[in-house]
Structure 1
Amino acid sequence: MASCSTGRPEVSIVIPARNEETFIGRTLESIASQSWPLERLEVVVVDNGSHDRTATVVREFASNTPRLQVRLLHEPLPSRARAKNLGAREATGEILIFLDADSAMATDLVMRVIETYRGGYPAGSIRIVADSRDLLDRAFFWLMELGKRRFHIRAQMFYCSRELFLALGGFDERLQIAEDREFLQRAERSGVQVCHLSASWIATSPRRLRRLPLRLGLLTTFVRWLLAHLGIGRSWPY
């Protein structure tokens, strides 16, 4: 399923989606609102064994937004790493942006990614902010951003040359968490200069931070991410 596009896209946005009917429409709308020409973008959504209307929402969006090329793939085995690897293999753009299905891109994000890529950085993490006005939600992601800036932690959603991604073998499909962190660490060990793009942002849902009473989700999520950063529990269920 795809709309008409002229030539090869410069950027492919890869989105793994499992039971994301509530969020995926807004995620796609944020891509359609990019300041970069839509004819030079491609969206690859990988339905990762959903049991809801995720695929239907994607198809309806594609039908209503003919200027943007949208492809829907299916990976039945639940695994973010596996779904993203499939999307990256099938993508045709020179640059990949990995975007979560419950997140939205700033309108200038693709433009900033292309500027940074052309500036000599083949890969880079992207500033993440809370899609929320709640002070605790915002503080949590501010703390994550501080780690990226002060301690050179490269993780979460990022962009990457497709050629580099495939050359490094993509994500480790044994991992349930921090597959992005592990990939970017591998890229750095191979000699790639991995930057952090802070001139734009991705707003993401804080739902994981709210899944326990008394806001204990903040603590459990932080501890889990910290352990994963240290290389502990990356293959545990998440």
Structure 2
Amino acid sequence: MAEPAGRSAAIGPTEPGDRAAIDVSVVLPAHNEELYVEAALGSILGQTWPLGRIEAIVVANGSTDRTNRVVRAFAEAHPELAVRLIADPVRGIARSKNRGARIARGELFLFFDADSRMAPDLVGRVIERARAGQPAGDIRLVADSADPLDRAFFGLIEFGKRLFSIRANMLYCARDLFERFGGFDERLRHAEDRDLLLRLQRAGIAVGHLDESFIATSPRRLRRLPFRLGTLTTLGRWTLGHLGIGRRWPY
């Protein structure tokens, strides 16, 4: 049964208007992620940065499973982390990220997929980068899997990003930049992250690649088709998305 939609709730302990207390807002778009979102939130709970200075915002977009219920249960069990939930009936990755950012209180936004887990030092590393003069950037991805083929696929993606200086996938961005550049383009179905970082780069903003920490992400989409054809379709979708942005922003 679908969860009630269209509502926003602050579940954690901090006051909604208190921006000064929050360093980083972690925004998690989630569509039917009941099996993964608890682990994603748990990895935020495991950060070495003080939890009182982090908030998590889950945007459950078009979810028809128990995602909302899982988030609420997690928040009730862990009041030491401020968790906020938006139940949005409309699907859309860029829209979801923008909706989360609109209620965020942190000076830095970290956009994080709900089927992923962050390394314990990630928030601290992001803050270090931002304070050192890189107010936006993407983050190294690894496969949340022991399968050598999964690991090789994500290793290839990271190699290609470094080789061609591509900034994409999960990212962080200072609040003032995000607001000044209008956030994510909601007309895009894919590569909205690449588009935003390219706009920042074109404006002369120092956009980094954070590789001293990482995000481990689920490789489940690689297995959607038999004979690992999901790997090819995933790679094709990402490539076409980035090429589309490339046509808008030629080198």
TM-score (norm 1): 0.95
**Paired letter, 2:64:** H
Asked if the contact 2:11/2:72 (under 8 Å) is kept, the reply is no
Output the CA distance in 2 between the equivalents of 1:47 and 1:218. Answer: 26
Asked if the contact 2:11/2:82 (under 8 Å) is kept, the reply is yes
The corresponding residue for 1:231 is 244
The corresponding residue for 1:126 is 139
Identity among equivalent pairs (%): 59
**Paired letter, 2:13:** C
- Does the alignment pair 1:90 with 2:103? yes
Asked if the contact 1:96/1:160 (under 8 Å) is kept, the reply is yes
Output the CA distance in 1 between the equivalents of 2:35 and 2:176. Answer: 33
The corresponding residue for 1:159 is 172
The corresponding residue for 1:212 is 225
Asked if the contact 1:16/1:47 (under 8 Å) is kept, the reply is yes
Q: Deviations over 1:75-107 (max 9, x none)?
A: 211001001000011101000000001000000
Output the CA distance in 1 between the equivalents of 2:64 and 2:235. Answer: 29
2:70 maps to which of 44, 57, 60: 57
- Does the alignment pair 1:137 with 2:150? yes
SS at match of 1:230: helix
How far the C-alpha of 1:190 sits from its partner, in A, is 1.3
**Paired letter, 1:103:** S
SS at match of 1:55: helix
How far the C-alpha of 1:233 sits from its partner, in A, is 11
| Structure 1 residue ranges (4+ consecutive) displaced by more than 6 angstroms after TM superposition | none
1:80 maps to which of 89, 93, 111: 93
**Paired letter, 1:89:** R
- Does the alignment pair 1:71 with 2:84? yes
The corresponding residue for 2:47 is 34
How far the C-alpha of 1:163 sits from its partner, in A, is 1.1
Q: Deviations over 1:171-228 (max 9, x none)?
A: 1111111010111111111111100000000000001111110011111211221121
The corresponding residue for 2:3 is none
- Does the alignment pair 1:3 with 2:16? no
Note the residue ranges of structure 1 that are not aligned, 5 or more in a row.
none
TM-score (norm 2): 0.90
Q: Deviations over 1:42-74 (max 9, x none)?
A: 111111021111001000111111111001112
Q: Deviations over 1:126-145 (max 9, x none)?
A: 00000011111111110111
Output the CA distance in 1 between the equivalents of 2:12 and 2:59. Answer: 17
Output the CA distance in 2 between the equivalents of 1:233 and 1:37. Answer: 39
The corresponding residue for 1:45 is 58
**Paired letter, 1:105:** M
**Paired letter, 2:236:** V
Note the residue ranges of structure 2 that are not aligned, 5 or more in a row.
1-9
How far the C-alpha of 1:232 sits from its partner, in A, is 6.8
